[in-house]
Structure 1
Amino acid sequence: MKEPLISDAGIEHLAIVLKGYPRLSETFIAQELLALQQRGMNITLQSLRHPTDREIHPIHREITAPVNYLPEYLHDQPARVIKAWWRARQLPGYKAAFAAFLRDLRRDLTRNRIRRFGQACVLAAEMAPETTRIYAHFLHTPASVARYAALIRTLPWSCSAHAKDIWTTPDWEKREKLADLDWLVTCTGSGRDHLKSLAGDPSRVHLVYHGLDFRRFPAPPDRQISGDGRSASAAVEILSVGRLVEKKGYDLLIAALAALPPDLHWRFTHIGGGDLMNTLAGKARDLGLANRIDWRGAEPQERVLKALKESDIFVLPSRITKNGDRDGLPNVLMEAQSQRLACISTEISAIPELILPGVTGLLVPPDDVPALTEALERLIRDPQQRLRLGKAGEARLRAEFGLEQNIGTLLGLLGVKAREAA
């Protein structure tokens, strides 16, 4: 077995700004962090929030980079903030950073904006002196902290943009961040095109799919013809993994499940936390579905994998919310396809870049309950089609969406020349 790829030493010392770490819902970030670590990159993690999940994924145990938790609220650690501000104001770029902050504050007069500048002062004062670049995950608040801190320390900074951060950040702010940073990567073609349209220099914006590290995912099960919904003893197992928030569309899924023919036998399992748990569980009870649904809450990756192997259909009915929030390219769809699981999702963001309708899965319009119901019934009744879609989905995933095919662009931007270890 080959050793992990490593880099030529001494290229970059990265301070990576994260909204929260570790997070069960952000395996794509953990996967990238581990890949950088395995390539010999010097990284420190700067988290704006402490973790809230009770468990972690196995991959988090492999990431050994030190984590610095910035003060989530400035009033919680006033002595630390004041000491950092006093140190930061003596650094060469403080005046430029403070001027940028004031310009932003005039257009965004919020406590959040003040908090981000305070966190940036702490980051600038406490980061390792050998740091050569600040790199933020998400273009909204983490990028604001990274930008101010980079100005204070007169360092280059870069960003990885994903979904909500692209579509809910004001255009004026995106334009200014794109003008200040060295480069930006994003995980969807739609996000890339939008950001390029706002960038004074579109060449700074790059498409880098998250990709899946197939070394972390076992071989898919040898799926056989299974139930077709006619027998209660062989009910079709439907699975979804995702946060219970509006953009995931789980209210639509509950409505679609309720609209299925009453003589069709199925069970639905959901994995993931979120603020809408009680609301959705109550809606399912009101529709008479409570005995068919298992709400498991957030779970670590090993239990997610077990559920993927034991299911027949994976569904994620993502939608665009009123404030523009939406998914990018959900990693859970790639994880489901890695286990040859037939997938149903919607025609938004980069999901059609992964799922080819009728070839590697089924796509329906967002917010269309009848279309979602029809797609569910179609796959419940047709195990042969489930097998065909699952097999084709896994084959295309491995050919085009592996981690190794997609991380090379990021490594190149970081100045890393990847090579195999001896």
Structure 2
Amino acid sequence: MAGLTAEEDAAAPPPAGVGPGPARTALVAALGELLGTAPPPRREPVGAELFETLLRAGDRAVETGGERELLLAVALADTGVSLRAKSRAAWRLRARALDALGHAAAATEAYERTLALGSTHPETPVLLSMAREKRTCLATAVGLFPADTAGGRETGAGQETGGPEAGAASAAAGPAFASAVGAEAMPGVVREAFTAYVTEQMGRYGAGDARVRELAGAYGTYCRILDQGRMADPLLAGARPVSVADFRGLVAGKTACVVVGPGRFEEAGDYELVVRCDDFRGGERADVHAVADPASASWHRPAGVRLLFADPGETWRETVRRAVPGAQDGLGDASLRRPLQDPALLGDGGWGPETSAAFTVLRLLDHLDVSPRLDVHGAGRLRPEERRWITSRAKDRTKTRTALR
């Protein structure tokens, strides 16, 4: 236990005028308990009580949230892993601390190790998904404009990133952002640099540029994860959360069709991804089920992923609670609740709450632009303005099918 002199660092006085706060007080108490429980050096092996006290101190350090406290949590977790290499709790503590520090790759590895050891903690797979998604968002953002982030990618590791205002003022927000990402800076630092970079790129290329829109989408997803995390398991009815990035991955490279209306769809075998909307018959294939009508009678019907469209957020949360446990493998998270109006996605405010689920999911698929074939069957059932939008972009039409690709 010789490495615990970091207690002095964690218990250092806060800045003038700032109280210690309950999290820091709990950390100091936990460290005091740990030191009181620790045996003299080389006198006896580490028992269960001491091991649990060590992990509890690490948990309090993570809850405190400062960089020094998080580094202390990593040290405590590493001590736990060195004592018990197959401890799920020690690996989970390590993952959480690294994640909070912004060390996404190492955190992902630790979460995966936790699951491989048989962790049944309900949050672990969600936290792993979040860590992976944050990495994807940052990698996407850095790679969209390689010429504008050059320099920062090569010199990021171990260097100061500077303030975001300085980067924007010198038209160097791109390298500053890439440097923060490459150095695995704290999430707050990365977020500030990300904000400056998005602002600069929107001013330089305009909000209509396809790459800027994708950049804004990655930024929106990253900020949502930092601010809100992912939905709690009870709200998800036991299903995995599906973000914009997850949904893009599900759709990518697949031929897709959106079926309007509840009738039987005989051509399902012609597509790799079949999207049903609101009500549909039992026994029908539904790789994706898009719902805008809370009174839908098909909540219980099996679906791969269920997307729930509703606004404002409280209405969406109430709608999600209608999901039937076991009826779907995945549920769209908050990043997919209003794709038409969301500036991180389509940003088209001209469509009101009466917009159909079929049109909304079709627009989402068209915007993601990762399907080699995208058809809509039964467009005649849509509202006139929705039909006009589809007709204006149709590449081919038959009596029942309209192709957008």
What TM-score do the two structures reach when normalised by structure 1?
Answer: 0.29
Instruction: Kindly indicate which of the two structures has a greater share of residues assigned to strand.
Output: 1
Tell me which of the two structures has the higher relative contact order, counting C-alpha pairs closer than 8 angstroms and 6 or more residues apart: 1
Answer with 1 or 2: which has the greater Rg.
2
TM-score (norm 2): 0.30
